[in-house]
Structure 1
């Protein structure tokens, strides 16, 4: 025993310092291991999340982008041609990536070939239809004119995200394909109580109500499915692009720059959209000019020279 009391067994200051250093060293080692483990787990989690996002995006894209299918029947020209008795000219469906096939205009010069490019959200298209629709119908019914209607969608972004222009043009294509002789009535009905720009427009259910209200009775369930599936969405987009890029067949017009674009025997009408008399006068003038250029001028019969 050491004189003066019990022996002091506590570690010295240097020993405590050494223990602290060792403990700190071990803590640093443990922390580094923990950090490495966390990084591996984080990277793995990020990888899993990234893969999940890619899968979700791929599913959404594949669900929204369908392979391009044929266009609607009876619209090989990107429009539907309606003749005497309001009977539509039937054509086969335009195949994907195929060029539109221009309709053959009446060559006699006695029948007005009226062509109208419309967007169903365009208020000026509605004005033209409400002003001139009935008189055009009377001309076509009697055989004095044909009318070819081209639905396009240049105002798709003007319907608060609902793409009404595109969906309405698709609905028109559905009717043209499945009930062509009811197309003119459906086209007119789309302009009755027409939705305003920058509104959502009609829903698909409401478009189907227009089908019924306009008197379509042929292949109604087929048309409704076509509307629900936006079957002709790709065709509408391509037909719109063809109209905007041109050229416009059977006319001197390079391309469509707005709606409505109205052509009579290839000549563009630029008069008042709300004056049926002005449009009627334009049609008569266009037909007169077409008739004068399509009818050969009679050659005078030479008279016999008297015998000398």
Structure 2
């Protein structure tokens, strides 16, 4: 005949069972949270990748050298044109610049291609860095000219922050502008005061009106091309010959 458990033993068993139940519930909760976070990361990553790498859309942009919202390198009578719509925070734009910047500069210097970079504010949902950096670019373009603006453009990408931040403040943008060759007295008020926000808004509207849906958007002789930086460069070189 089995011995009837005492009240103390019953209480201990009940406490142990309750502890096991709570631990199981915590494990289920942690797994659920992990799955939700992972799903969100995947969805966001896919959405951003599609947005940033989409190709083949109908983009009707003005020819290189004919936009009010960009900087050009090369000769106006070059036989080929490249237009690049970009956002200074977009990591794919940073990859494109790293993978094609020097080669495009060489093609422009050779007289083979007229290249126009058209920055605008695509990633406003992440924060205000895209707007501030583009405003600073516009200030340098207006006050210091296209050559310094292109150098500033390159430095913005060479020092591009992560989308997760932290983001450079306006003083850091001013320091890069001075490093690019701008006179501090000429651009300080405009960069620190974000005086070209209206220019940024107009550039963004112009990009949207042209049918640009993501960054980078690259057009070669008016036709949109896509791929990774090496593939884009291959298409340009193949056309240029």
TM-score, normalized by length of structure 2? 0.67
1:149: how far off? 1.0
Find the partner of 2:97 among 116, 129, 141: 129
Size of the aligned set, in residue pairs, is 176
Point out where structure 1 has 5 or more consecutive residues left out of the alignment: 1-73, 85-104, 249-254, 289-308
Q: 1:191 aligns to what SS in structure 2?
A: helix
Residue 113 of structure 1: aligned partner? 81
Residue 69 of structure 2: aligned partner? 78
Corresponding position: 1:153 with 2:114: no
Q: 1:148 aligns to what SS in structure 2?
A: strand
Contact 1:267 / 1:286 at 8 angstroms: preserved in 2?
no
1:178: how far off? 1.6
Q: 1:268 to 1:286 in 2, by over 3 A?
A: farther
Q: 2:206 aligns to what SS in structure 1?
A: helix
Larger fraction in helix: 2
1:112: how far off? 2.1
Residue 187 of structure 1: aligned partner? 153
Q: Which has the larger radius of gyration?
A: 1
Corresponding position: 1:221 with 2:185: yes
1:223: how far off? 1.3
1:111: how far off? 2.4
Residue 221 of structure 2: aligned partner? 265
Aligned-residue RMSD, C-alpha: 2.1
Contact 2:152 / 2:177 at 8 angstroms: preserved in 1?
yes
Contact 2:138 / 2:199 at 8 angstroms: preserved in 1?
no
Paired with 2:148 and 2:220, the residues of 1 have a C-alpha distance of: 23
Residue 240 of structure 1: aligned partner? 204
Point out where structure 2 has 5 or more consecutive residues left out of the alignment: 1-64
Matches within 5 A, 1:1-308: 76-84=67-75, 106=77, 111-159=79-127, 163-179=128-144, 180-214=146-180, 216-217=181-182, 219-244=183-208, 246=209, 248=210, 255-273=211-229, 275=230, 278-287=231-240
